[in-house]
Structure 1
Amino acid sequence: MAVRKIEHVGIMVSSIEQSIAFYEQVVGLQHLETIGHIDAQIRLAFLAFPGHSDTEIELVQGYSDQLPQEGRVHHVAFSVDDVEEEFARIRGLEPNGLDAEITTLPNGSRYFFFDGPDGERLEFFQSTR
């Protein structure tokens, strides 16, 4: 198994620009990049502490029209060395909620989601950064 660390925590937001400003000014994170998604209505922004991009915050805008009153943390992502190998391994374990295929973002990063035992969303993510 080649899961190495928590890659990022995804937070659903209503305004990506407002949230970037908040996390920069209030929390002290540095904006790394904002990218589109294969779903054109979704935008993603990645932030990390300056000089420490080992674990990031991912802001997700456009995933849903309604943000839940609780649980705005959408998922926890784990960095993996080989997303295809991990997808095959996880598929063999037959978890609930496993994506049908690996998604490739416009920047080349690749990921898939599945559910933990209590329905929490987990992501295995292979970054191009």
Structure 2
Amino acid sequence: MNVVSIRIITADVESLVKFYEQITGITAIQYTPDFAELKTSTATIAIGSTKTLQFFGGENIAQPAENRSAIIEFLVEDVDREFDRLRDFQSYQIVQEPTVMPWGNKSLLFRDPDGNLVNFFTPVSKEAVEKFNPK
């Protein structure tokens, strides 16, 4: 089994698509006005409007901008460089500037326009580097 995608439900697809395009440098594939995907080499960020919930059993099964438990994580080459690049980008809110975590990743934590947590991280400890770059 493989994780293929994470889908974010939003009331403003256009804003979220623009945000994720800007932070990742990936152009979204906009299938309909209510659904888009940003594909990386390992997984996809899917963005669906609240209208798409009707296909999954009704609009009450998910609530946009209510995430309080998940973090969308991106492995980046240099988290400090990403932080410098994003400093002037006004569509997000910094939660934590680049900080080395006890498990060996240097992490930058911020929120997207819907309040979802996003983590850009770079492995810095020997163990973390080996975990993400096995030889």
Larger strand proportion of the pair: 1
TM-score by length of 1: 0.40
TM-score by length of 2: 0.39
Point out which structure has higher relative CO (alpha carbons under 8 A, 6+ apart): 1
Larger helix proportion of the pair: 2
